[in-house]
A = this chain, B = another copy of it.
Amino acid sequence: MSEFRKRRIQSFLEKHQDRARLLISCPDQPGIVAAVTNFLYERGANIVESNQYSTDPEGGTFFLRIEFDCPHIRVRKEEIENEFSPIAERFSMDWRLSLHTHLKKMAVFVSKEEHCLLELLWEWQAGELLADFALVISNHEHMRETVESFGIPYYYIPVTKETKQEAEQQQIALLKQYDIDVIVLARYMQILSPSFVAQFPSKIINIHHSFLPAFIGARPYEQAYRRGVKLIGATSHYVTDDLDEGPIIEQDVERVDHKHHVEDLKRIGRIIEKTVLVRALKWHLQDRVIIHGNKTIVFK
């Protein structure tokens, strides 16, 4: 099956070797789209997808994501970036050009709950998760066999109150060593320290097992059971220093009723969690998610 994945990736890379995406945010004003699309047109680019959003047409912030095909983009990238600088300056843009064929390097953190990690492994194995699955870090040993069977390195870094700081140093060292672009907390039941989070701004994606902002913090299914809600949910969000308060990428819910005990909520919740996490991660991997303040703009 690993062969299957390689073929999928290979055909993807070939099919999209000329594709790139341009992400822009800047103060809104007339002429931005005209300037950008002209620039691309003059370079023989064909726009295949374009999304824009303005917080307020009068003096708000403008966000633009353009996906385009441009011959030989992989060799011309730097040249095009240089040529684009004047436009970027003129509109004081915060911008980024990235190749469709550049896969983000991904690290996954996991504790004992396996369902989210397994979903990520299988989606990746199926060639659906367009990331470079670099490593798994866990504070438990028990998923090693499974992860290594996919040919992915597994690092066991136990965490106790005493060793937490040291453990995070080891984790950070590994993340630097693998040059990681995105960190996925796939039900990693440890709270990362502010200093850890500070080193990976907007790069850490968590799945919280509740419909935030309901049931922040520990044991959300127990909280949901006690409150007697009729729907339970899951939320994927970027990690900030405020626990479970980071920008929300995606959420979903499932119906429950009085017959469901905590164990049932957990069982139902697992499916929501893995589905929501994979959806959010795929959008992030394609640069479809833009963080604006404490919210996200998702160009689906």
Interface, chain A (partner B; CB < 8 A): 1, 4, 28-31, 33-34, 37-38, 40-41, 44-50, 52-54, 57, 69, 114-115, 118, 122, 126, 128, 142, 145-146, 149, 211-215, 227-231, 233, 247-253, 255, 257-259, 267, 271, 275, 292, 294-298, 300
Main DSSP-derived SS at the A contact region: mixed
| Nearest CB of B to A231, in Å | 5
Given contacts A50-B33, A122-B118, A298-B258, contact A252 B231 (CB under 8 A): yes
The 7 tightest CB contacts between A and B, nearest first, are A228-B295, A34-B37, A214-B214, A34-B41, A258-B297, A33-B37, A230-B251
Task: Flag if A275 contacts B267 (CB, 8 Å).
Answer: no
Chain B residues near A57: list those with CB within 8 A: 46, 48, 69
Tallying the copies of this chain within the complex gives 4
Knowing A53-B259, A54-B48, the reply to whether A142 touches B248 (Cβ < 8 A) is no
* Known interface pairs A53-B258, A230-B251; 12 further A-B residue pairs with C-beta atoms within 8 A, sorted by A's residue number: A1-B142, A1-B145, A31-B41, A33-B37, A34-B37, A57-B69, A128-B267, A212-B229, A213-B227, A229-B248, A255-B255, A258-B297
